[in-house]
A and B are shown apart, each in its own frame.
Chain A
Amino acid sequence: MSEKVEKKSVNVDDIYEDVSDWHINTGGIKIVAKRMAGRFRRLKWFGMTIWLVLFLGPYLRWNGSQAVLLDLPNRQFNFFNVTIYPQDIWMLSLTLLFFAILLAAVTSIAGRVFCGYFCFQTVWTDVYTYIEGKLEGDTPKKAMKFNSAPWSVNKIVRKVSKHSLWLLIAVLTGISFVAWFTEAYQLWRDLFHFEASLPAYLIIGAFTGGTYTFAGFMREQVCFWLCPYARLQGVMYDQDTILPSYDAERGEPRGRIKKGQHDDTKGSCVDCNVCVAVCPTGIDIRKGQQEGCITCGMCIDACDTIMEKTNQPKGLIRYASYKELHHNATPLALYKRPRVIIYSLILMIALSGVVYGFMNLSPTEFKVVHERQPLFVQLSDGTIQNKYTVKLLNKTKQTIKLNFTIEGIEGATLHGLSEMIVEPGKVIPVTALVRVPEQYMTSDLTPIVFKGSVESNDRITVRYKSMFMGPKK
């Protein structure tokens, strides 16, 4: 290779400087992050406890049945008193929109908060590494010593315990997930009798395998190489977004100090590497913002401890925006940031839609479908007859009997059935014939209203506006 080419090649390799640490996150080296107490550690624990809802929620009872039951086979979602049918599924769309935008809004304000404190990958990995640390040593040195030691009863017992606990959590995760979609107590009974449905076993199996692999072995590799949200959230940052950042201006040039000495030529960073040691994804925050950072704040807790010990002000690593660090500017007020304004607006719209939906959940769904072929029929005495299919969906928990009438056209008469008995959760169609004598036909299209009331429940009234059709006038 020529001299020139050689030089170029080196330049190209420089491009990869950014990713020089990637070998850590490709499975070659297992990260054993040191655990230190602090504000953000407490916040992380708090975020983690919210996930207890996943495990305990399905056992909550309400009026004798499961409080929250996503009953897919019967096409209905039960939330306490409310039952959601496919007709109301738009509320689910709005709910999903709400949470998607909430993710975006929070990310644009304070970075990957979801990743750092609440994401199941973070949470389950944290629990798994906690168990591993307790059993195999909680520092890289101890862990390496344990793993390179020859096999002994003690080592086997610890290894087996670790994997058993991991699997137990994984299986419980799977069962808890499935329990939201089927009667929870019945599920446990079925599982113990090996009578549960095939989908239940498959889903529990998939969750067990997934949890065990992702939280036990892949860990931060999932965030690096699998997760789309990790990439997605990165693009929502702007210069006002506050992120755990290393204050290089104050910290550099870094260097070790001797006890009781003070060196004016050096910055605040004592190069103790604790911030790297505590990082669950194995990055060095002092290199600046990078894709591996899940913004969990562990390095902030760690650095603050060191600052305290070396008698320096806290906050060498702190939540700070790019503007604050590089332009010494205070970040823009929230209400002045277009991103925040737009996200909030969408959040409000989605939320009010869902609230409106819940407030106005109709106990029935009443529809009148006009016959399309033929649109109208002339009877032997000249009367025009239209045929309608009247449909009622009963969303209440009782069987209801609906009587319906028509209004809006003079001389119109209703023939065929005018009452329907509908069981809970069922739709019943009946055929209704409306006749209008020729002399009352004033136009080829006349609005007609179907009105109905329920015998046993006078609070339920329904109405539907349809059209009555006749020959062209």
Chain B
Amino acid sequence: MADNKNNPGQVEDTGHEWDGIRELNNPCPRWWLNSLYLSGLLVIVYFVLYPSLPLVNESTKGLLGWTMINEYKEDLAKVEAKRAPFEDKLASMTVEQILADQEMLNYAIGSSKVLYGDNCAACHGTGGAPAAGAGYPNLTDDDWLFGGKPQEIMVSIAAGRQGMMTAHKDILKPEEVDQLVQFVVDSSNGVATEAGKALYMAKGCFACHGADAKGVKAMGSANLTDKIWRFSGEPEQIRHTILHGVNHVSDPLTRVAVMPAWNEKLAIMLEARANAIADGEDPNEIDWDDELDGTESERLTETEIKKLTVYVHQFGGGQ
């Protein structure tokens, strides 16, 4: 290192020189050095306060006892605390009351997005409209197989749904099938012929689809006179439905249409209550031990189903 004897009054240099540029040996600024030492000190403080050293079985805990999962749980608790008053209120309201209360309606819709996405959207589509041709019911239109009133939707979710149509491949002659396909297409367009109607009645279709061909809610049979198709409006597809039916166990080509039950216990309770009211009894006096045997599945809670009912109802087709 060159000292300053050779160049008095100048800054000390390291003796290195390239192309006339000397490497000076200025001391680091005091504040900078202090900052460096301070940051070194902070490392020690961090080691003491936070989990840091990995030991054989687990790491050191740190004086603060901080963990990432705890921080997550605390944050989650904060969100839940904020939601609690709404959730409590929601639990005590009927679906009809929620639909009539602007604030609770907005809360129910806002908080059901994830619930719907996790449990329903896979079949029914994000916005209630399934992909074309996928074979799932559209929840946004006004055509409901099992009814579009809040209570009916709630029962559908809680109990699940499974319609049934017999496969007619061994019952009907091919020309009869052709005529019935034509009748169904004509009905949808409002131009059904007398002959078609006569065959429809003669072959017993009315037993499920009704004398007016408008479907029967109790069975979930499709309305054949409207513009909405449960599966498809293409003549070939209609033929397939007539030939192989829906959920017909012995026909491997049958259409499968099963909506799972999301809360069997709730479904039984809803039914028992409805029956009690219909029979003029007090629904509060129902003997639940008698009704429930304890094996009922509860994949979603009652409040969650209530929220989903609201969510589905507001898709645009709720009645």
Question: Is B258 on the interface with A (CB-CB < 8 A)?
Answer: no
| B102 and A428 contact, CB distance less than 8 A | yes
Question: Is B260 on the interface with A (CB-CB < 8 A)?
Answer: no
Which residues, 106 to 160 on B, are CB-close (under 8 Å) to A?
Answer: 106, 125-129, 138, 140-143
With a cutoff of 8 Å between Cβ atoms, the chain B residues found around residue A428 in the complex are 102, 106
Which residues, 354 to 372 on A, are CB-close (under 8 Å) to B?
Answer: 371-372
Question: Is B303 on the interface with A (CB-CB < 8 A)?
Answer: no
Which residues, 1 to 33 on B, are CB-close (under 8 Å) to A?
Answer: 2, 6-7, 10, 17, 20-22
Interface size on A, residues (CB 8 A): 28
With a cutoff of 8 Å between Cβ atoms, the chain B residues found around residue A372 in the complex are 127
Min C-beta distance of A373 to chain B, whole Å = 3
With a cutoff of 8 Å between Cβ atoms, the chain A residues found around residue B228 in the complex are 378-380
Question: Is A139 on the interface with B (CB-CB < 8 A)?
Answer: no
Question: Is A56 on the interface with B (CB-CB < 8 A)?
Answer: no
Q: A373-B129, A379-B141, A381-B226 in contact; A12/B20 too (CB < 8 A)?
A: yes
| B6 and A1 contact, CB distance less than 8 A | yes
With a cutoff of 8 Å between Cβ atoms, the chain A residues found around residue B6 in the complex are 1, 6
Min C-beta distance of A16 to chain B, whole Å = 9
Chain A interface mostly helix, strand, loop or mixed? mixed
| A387 and B126 contact, CB distance less than 8 A | no
With a cutoff of 8 Å between Cβ atoms, the chain A residues found around residue B140 in the complex are 374, 377, 385, 387
Bound complex: CA A382 to CA B225 (Å): 11
Bound complex: CA A323 to CA B228 (Å): 84
- C-beta contact mask, A317-355 vs B, less than 8 Å → 1, else 0? 000000000000000000000000000000000000000
Min C-beta distance of A375 to chain B, whole Å = 9
Bound complex: CA A11 to CA B19 (Å): 12
Question: Is A433 on the interface with B (CB-CB < 8 A)?
Answer: yes
Bound complex: CA A379 to CA B127 (Å): 16
| A11 and B20 contact, CB distance less than 8 A | yes
With a cutoff of 8 Å between Cβ atoms, the chain B residues found around residue A430 in the complex are 102
| A13 and B316 contact, CB distance less than 8 A | no
Question: Is A9 on the interface with B (CB-CB < 8 A)?
Answer: yes
Bound complex: CA A11 to CA B142 (Å): 91
Question: Is A309 on the interface with B (CB-CB < 8 A)?
Answer: no
In the complex, which residue of chain A has the Cβ closest to the Cβ of B225? A380
With a cutoff of 8 Å between Cβ atoms, the chain A residues found around residue B17 in the complex are 5, 9
With a cutoff of 8 Å between Cβ atoms, the chain B residues found around residue A382 in the complex are 227
- Give the number of residue pairs across the A-B interface with Cβ within 8 Å: 73
With a cutoff of 8 Å between Cβ atoms, the chain B residues found around residue A387 in the complex are 140, 315-316
Interface size on B, residues (CB 8 A): 28
Picked from A5, A13, A380, A431, the residue with its CB within 8 Å of the CB of B10 is A13
Question: Is A8 on the interface with B (CB-CB < 8 A)?
Answer: yes
Chain B interface mostly helix, strand, loop or mixed? loop
Question: Is B317 on the interface with A (CB-CB < 8 A)?
Answer: yes
Q: A5-B17, A385-B141 in contact; A380/B227 too (CB < 8 A)?
A: yes
Question: Is A140 on the interface with B (CB-CB < 8 A)?
Answer: no
| B22 and A9 contact, CB distance less than 8 A | yes
Question: Is A425 on the interface with B (CB-CB < 8 A)?
Answer: no
| B227 and A1 contact, CB distance less than 8 A | no
| A12 and B22 contact, CB distance less than 8 A | yes
Interface centre among B20, B125, B314 (most CB of A within 10 A): B20
Question: Is A429 on the interface with B (CB-CB < 8 A)?
Answer: yes
With a cutoff of 8 Å between Cβ atoms, the chain A residues found around residue B138 in the complex are 374, 377
Bound complex: CA A387 to CA B315 (Å): 8
- C-beta contact mask, A2-39 vs B, less than 8 Å → 1, else 0? 00011011011100000000000000000000000000
Min C-beta distance of B253 to chain A, whole Å = 28
Min C-beta distance of B70 to chain A, whole Å = 21
| B20 and A377 contact, CB distance less than 8 A | no
Bound complex: CA A378 to CA B229 (Å): 10
Q: A6-B6, A12-B22 in contact; A379/B142 too (CB < 8 A)?
A: yes
With a cutoff of 8 Å between Cβ atoms, the chain A residues found around residue B314 in the complex are 431
With a cutoff of 8 Å between Cβ atoms, the chain B residues found around residue A5 in the complex are 17, 20
With a cutoff of 8 Å between Cβ atoms, the chain A residues found around residue B2 in the complex are 1
Question: Is B247 on the interface with A (CB-CB < 8 A)?
Answer: no
Question: Is B223 on the interface with A (CB-CB < 8 A)?
Answer: yes
With a cutoff of 8 Å between Cβ atoms, the chain B residues found around residue A374 in the complex are 125, 127-129, 138, 140
With a cutoff of 8 Å between Cβ atoms, the chain A residues found around residue B21 in the complex are 12
Which residues, 378 to 426 on A, are CB-close (under 8 Å) to B?
Answer: 378-382, 385, 387, 417, 420-421
In the complex, which residue of chain A has the Cβ closest to the Cβ of B21? A12
With a cutoff of 8 Å between Cβ atoms, the chain B residues found around residue A6 in the complex are 6-7
Picked from B102, B126, B141, the residue with its CB within 8 Å of the CB of A373 is B126
| A429 and B20 contact, CB distance less than 8 A | no
With a cutoff of 8 Å between Cβ atoms, the chain B residues found around residue A380 in the complex are 141-143, 223, 226-228
Min C-beta distance of A24 to chain B, whole Å = 16
Min C-beta distance of B209 to chain A, whole Å = 15
Q: Which residues of A contact B (CB under 8 A)?
A: 1, 5-6, 8-9, 11-13, 371-374, 377-382, 385, 387, 417, 420-421, 428-431, 433
Given contacts A5-B17, A374-B127, A387-B316, list 18 more A-B pairs with CB under 8 A. A1-B6, A1-B7, A9-B10, A9-B17, A9-B20, A9-B22, A13-B10, A372-B127, A373-B129, A374-B138, A374-B140, A377-B129, A378-B227, A379-B143, A385-B141, A385-B142, A428-B106, A429-B106
11 A–B contacts from the bound complex (CB under 8 Å): A373-B126, A374-B127, A374-B128, A377-B316, A379-B141, A379-B142, A379-B228, A380-B143, A380-B227, A385-B142, A431-B316
Q: Which 8 A-B pairs have the closest CB atoms?
A: A373-B127, A380-B226, A374-B129, A8-B20, A382-B227, A380-B143, A377-B140, A387-B316
